[in-house]
Structures are given as C-alpha cells and as structure tokens.
C-alpha cells in the first residue's frame, strides 16, 4: 500500500491543488493523509473526487488551526475508523 502523508499547513489554494495533483500523478498513492489543513474538507470535495479519492474521513479545523483529512480509493483499500479527535484519527486499514 502506498501512502502520501503531508503536513500541508493550509489547503485549498491553487498552489496546494497544483502540488498535490503533481504528487498524486507521480506516486499514485492508495491513501492521502493531510494534516494542518486549516480549512473544511467540504470546500475541496470535488477536487479529490476528480483525483479518484472518493472515500474520506476528516476532523475539521478549530478556527484556522488544525484539521486532518484521510482520503482513499475504496476499490484499492478498506478503511474502518474507530476514533477521531482534533489530534488524531485511528483506523484499521486492509486490502
């Protein structure tokens, strides 16, 4: 399984989208984990769907701080979330 884990320190702007699209094309990860997103996932949903990451779980930021997004391709892996808080998301991942 290939993972892309990025402490992106802010997501949603054009530069982030361009860089992430390039990383996905280059490495083809099964799952993307983004931390410190600082924006709600709802603002980016279609962008990730267009990249093929149609399943997700997330913790929204508090104000302009924090935020964790887990996105995956459901035909490649199964993800079961058991716990989530502002600091972590605990999952079981299988093929």
d(CA 30, CA 38) in angstroms, rounded, equals 23
What count of residues does the chain have? 95
**pLDDT (0 to 100) of residue 48:** 94
Structural domain boundaries of the chain?
3-94
> Can you tell me the mean pLDDT for 7-15?
90
CB atoms within 10 A of CB 52: 14
> Can you tell me the mean pLDDT for 22-46?
92
**pLDDT (0 to 100) of residue 44:** 86
Model confidence band, residue 56 (pLDDT cutoffs 50, 70, 90): very high
Give the position of tokens 């808080």: 85
> Can you tell me the mean pLDDT for 65-70?
92
Answering whether pTM is above 0.85, one says yes
pLDDT in tens, 76-89: 999 999 999 989 99
Model confidence band, residue 5 (pLDDT cutoffs 50, 70, 90): very high
Give the position of tokens 């530069």: 15
pLDDT at residue 6 tops 80: yes
* Average pLDDT of the chain, as a whole number: 93
The correct CATH number of 3-94 out of 3.60.10.10, 3.10.180.10, 3.20.10.10, 3.30.70.270 is: 3.60.10.10
């Amino acid at each position: 399984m290939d993972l892309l884990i990025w402490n992106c320190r802010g997501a949603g702007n054009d530069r982030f989208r361009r860089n992430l699209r390039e990383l996905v094309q280059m490495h083809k990860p099964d799952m993307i984990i983004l931390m410190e997103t600082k924006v709600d996932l709802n603002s980016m949903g279609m962008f990730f769907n267009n990249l093929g990451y149609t399943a997700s779980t997330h913790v929204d930021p508090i104000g302009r701080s924090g935020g964790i997004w887990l996105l995956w391709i459901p035909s490649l892996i199964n993800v079961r979330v058991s716990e989530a808080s502002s600091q972590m998301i605990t999952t079981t991942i299988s093929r």
